[in-house]
Amino acid sequence: MDTRFSSAIHALILIAASEKPMTSEDIAGSVGTNASYIRKIIGSLKKKGIIESHRGISGYALKLKAEDLTLLQIYQAVNEIEAICLFDLHQNSNDKCIVGRHIKSVLTEMFMEMDEAIILALSGKTLADCIGSIQRRLDAAGNGCPRE
Amino acid sequence: MDTRFSSAIHALILIAASEKPMTSEDIAGSVGTNASYIRKIIGSLKKKGIIESHRGISGYALKLKAEDLTLLQIYQAVNEIEAICLFDLHQNSNDKCIVGRHIKSVLTEMFMEMDEAIILALSGKTLADCIGSIQRRLDAAGNGCPRE
């Protein structure tokens, strides 16, 4: 199970909603994991310019606006990838067979359409949407804002 | 790298296009892998009623029409899953934190939208579409049909 993506979103909601810079320990306490796992995620997010830390102040702050930060950017950052490739393609097809000769280009084209579908879905959601969803649940339960 | 899905599509194109039942060895020769890997995939496809073998005849035949067999069905069969879950969700969020309390339902809802996008894309393509793409390449290259 690879929970880097969901843990990163959780961490970023905390960082965005907090009035003071959040430390790895603060974040780990809410995510329910250890601080070293969070620090790895934080490292990937920093590398992509999504969050920043300031000399002399412990903790991290969001570098982009929550409404400008898409789930696609978060997914790419924590997986340290540029392209989305949902499905792997076998590489040793036999060129002497006419199916084997053309399968790579057929499936590359088809899998790219699948990748495009998920890129579209991931880029259509922002960190602000996640915060908004949390806020709606808090409003419905009558208990304040995520800053609490 | 998990190439079961792409190998299964390749195998199914061969099975659909062949005039005689294809054996695991025939398929492995075109996919560029070993027959035991193909037999595992074949086992999953048989379990889901996508292909069949007949007593006394070596090799497999398609049980469904190529135009009725979606990439979603193939993906589910070879991965032996019913639901598509692209992204894992961390399970130990701290309920005492208001973000931790609501993150699971927020991300479950959001990830389901991503899953729906890929389900839609995968169910929008059939084995017949793959065969059609191969055929178009053969026509363009002027070399016959996938049965050759």
Contact between residue B88 and residue B80 where contact means Cβ atoms under 8 Å apart: no
Q: Does B14 score more than 90 pLDDT? A: yes
Which residue's structure tokens are 């907090």? A18
Give the tens place of pLDDT for each residue, A79-102: 999 999 999 999 999 999 999 999
Residues of B with Cβ-Cβ distance to A113 under 8 angstroms: 121, 125
Give the tens place of pLDDT for each residue, A33-44: 999 999 999 999
Residues of A with Cβ-Cβ distance to B86 under 8 angstroms: 86, 118
Q: Looking at chain B, list the stretches that DSSP marks H as alpha helix, in order from N- to C-terminal side.
A: 4-17, 24-31, 35-47, 71-79, 98-123, 127-141
Q: Does B131 score more than 80 pLDDT? A: yes
Alpha-carbon distance of A40 to A38, in angstroms, equals: 5
Contact between residue B101 and residue B92 where contact means Cβ atoms under 8 Å apart: no
Contact between residue B68 and residue B74 where contact means Cβ atoms under 8 Å apart: no
Which of B57-66, B67-76, B80-89, B90-99 shows the lowest mean pLDDT across its residues?
Answer: B57-66
Contact between residue A123 and residue A129 where contact means Cβ atoms under 8 Å apart: no
3-state secondary structure at position A126: strand
Mean pLDDT value of segment B99-111: 96
Task: Kindly report the nearest CA distance between residue B11 and chain A, in angstroms.
Answer: 9
Mean pLDDT value of segment A8-18: 95
Q: How confident is the model at residue A129 (pLDDT cuts 50, 70, 90)?
A: very high
> 0.90 cut: is pTM over it?
no
pLDDT above 70 covers a percentage of chain B that reads 95
Give the tens place of pLDDT for each residue, B138-148: 999 876 656 55
Mean pLDDT value of segment B1-24: 93
Mean pLDDT value of segment A45-63: 88
Task: Give the chain B residue whose CA is nearest to the CA of A137.
Answer: B102
Task: Give the chain B residue whose CA is nearest to the CA of A30.
Answer: B94
Residues of B with Cβ-Cβ distance to A17 under 8 angstroms: 99
Which of A6-10, A128-132, B142-146 shows the lowest mean pLDDT across its residues?
Answer: B142-146
